[in-house]
Amino acid sequence: MAKTTTATLQKMKNNGEKIAMITAYDASFAQLFEQQGADIILVGDSLGMVVQGQTDTVPVTNAEVAYHTRCVRAGASKPLLIADMPFMTYATADDAMKNAAQLMQAGAEMVKVEGGDWLVDTVRTLTKRGIAVCAHLGLTPQSVRKLGGFKMQGKQAEEAKQMIADAKALEDAGAQLLVLECVPAELAKEITQSIRIPTIGIGAGRDTDGQVLVMHDIFGISTGYIPRFSKNFLNETGRMDTAIAKYVQDVKMNKFPTDEHILA
């Protein structure tokens, strides 16, 4: 497996090759995911829920993400490593630079931020200083308390129009990857076709350039419930290594998500 870079991802989009992304939080699982061909590993602030037992991602700190990023980096070197910037760590461009630097020094190769056009100046500032940025639109878990729960976004025409505009603005500011979470499949398809950079979907249909799932959902061991857009691959295969291999293969062959995993 060759090293995945931002150039690799752009080439994959241009060639119509699907991108397989998965979360990880420690060296052992990171090594397993690398061995099974994952293109991207995300150290998600989802660790607040699946590792710490929180009800959402808001309590997670930058130091905690940096710690888990360092662990993941020790286990895998070939997948592109993205680290989430936690709640309120990028409220200003200065905050973003300081906190992104901590994550990059821990081993991240890209940082992910949640939000729309208000982030344009911050994304531009980070990219000008050599920090690769992944944007995140749709359901933004750090805003879940404002949104009133984990709900699909972009169903209304004005919301969809704004999301398309936000995607283009973030791309123009320098973002090199875009996660679309819990948005209508047709909207995700339109955004994917409207921008040059790759899109990664989670609960966003099958027409994005790639997919991401939380590792605990793939194994069916998440606390609470497994989202409808996810799939328990371990239940299907019986082994962790084959579960991840199946996930990666199904993403790359566009067999996942199926109709049953696409939100209405």
The CATH number given to whatever domain includes residue 63 is 3.20.20.60
Q: Catalytic residue among 109, 181, 186, 236, which?
A: 181
The answer to whether residue 1 sits within a structural domain is no
Is 260 a catalytic site residue? no
Residue 188 lies in a domain: yes
Measure the N-to-C terminal CA separation of the chain; round to a whole number of Å.
36
Instruction: Return the minimum-mean-pLDDT range out of 52-61, 83-92, 148-157.
Output: 148-157
What is the DSSP secondary-structure string of 210-232? EEEE-HHHHHT--SS---TT---
Cβ-contact 132, 109 below 8 angstroms: yes
For residue 230, the enclosing domain spans: 6-261
Residue 236 lies in a domain: yes
Cα radius of gyration rounded to whole Å, the chain? 17
Say what the pLDDT of residue 224 is: 64
In this predicted structure, what is the pLDDT of residue 264? 62
pLDDT tens across 103-162, in order? 999 999 999 999 999 999 999 999 999 999 999 999 887 877 666 556 788 889 999 999
Q: For all residues of the chain together, what is the average pLDDT? A: 94
Number of domain units in the chain? 1
φ, ψ of residue 90 to 5 degrees: the values are: -135, 35
- pLDDT category, 1, cuts 50, 70, 90? confident
Which residue bears the tokens 């933004």? 140
pLDDT of residue 122: 98
Q: Can you give the pLDDT at residue 109?
A: 98
Q: Which residue has the higher pLDDT, 221 or 152?
A: 221
pLDDT mean over 210-216: 97
Distances (CA, A) of 178 to 7, 143, 154, 160, 264: 15, 17, 15, 16, 21
**Phi–psi pair at 40, nearest 5 degrees:** -135, 140
